[in-house]
Structure 1
């Protein structure tokens, strides 16, 4: 699986410190390549889980895939899909992976640490991100 986006959205009603939304592309499952995960409290055993969907199953899924992408910090995936309404599933997967790979942008050590904190910790309030 290739992780496209993830972010910790805690605190939420489900958990105070760990409610991570994740969006992956799973190339080993060509029929259902879009994987929507949620990790609550640190794992899938108690709460959370994962769901693999095909392109034609997205709108029927009660998990609100667009909202999930927003919470996983990759709302651009929905925008890309909307920009290519006639594209088939394989083409969309290819476009998502191309955009995700993108040109490598050098990041400093401090930027990498900051991105890790943003993905894994929620800071609310006046100075929250």
Structure 2
């Protein structure tokens, strides 16, 4: 699983400290590679869950995939999917992974470190981002 985006949106009506939205690409599931996850209050056991979808299932999913991507801090994925609506699923997955892997614009070391920390470390609680 390649995690493309995640963000803690707490406090929310569901939980005061942890309501994390995640989006990933699961290459081990080529038929349904798009993984939409939500972790509420510490995991999937009590609240939250995960759903794997194919490209042609996105608009029919009642989970509002565009809103989920925005809450997972990767709204650019929806823009990319919309811009390449005539292409096949494998091509769209490749475009998402290519854009995700692109190096950021040249920045200072502190900014680069901050972006790496944001992508890598998930902080819960009221101080989470």
**What TM-score, normalized to structure 2?**
0.85
Distance 2:116 2:28 in 1: 31
The whole-number CA distance in structure 2 between the counterparts of 1:92 and 1:10 is 31
| Aligned residue in 1 for 2:123 | 120
Query: Do the aligned residues in 2 keep the contact of 1:11 with 1:19 (CA within 8 Å)?
Result: yes
Q: How does 1:34-53 map to 2 (within 5 A)?
A: 34-53=34-53
Distance 2:101 2:123 in 1: 22
Q: C-alpha offsets along residues 1-48 of structure 1, whole Å, 9 cap, x if unaligned?
A: 000000000000000000000000000000000000000001000000
Distance, in Å, in 2 between the alignment partners of 1:97 and 1:89 is 12
What is the TM-score normalised by the length of structure 1?
Answer: 0.85
**Unaligned 5+ residue runs, structure 1?**
none
- Check whether the contact 1:7–1:120 (CA below 8 A) recurs between aligned residues: no
* 1:98 match: secondary structure: helix
Size of the aligned set, in residue pairs, is 124
Where has structure 1 moved over 6 Å in runs of 4 or more? none
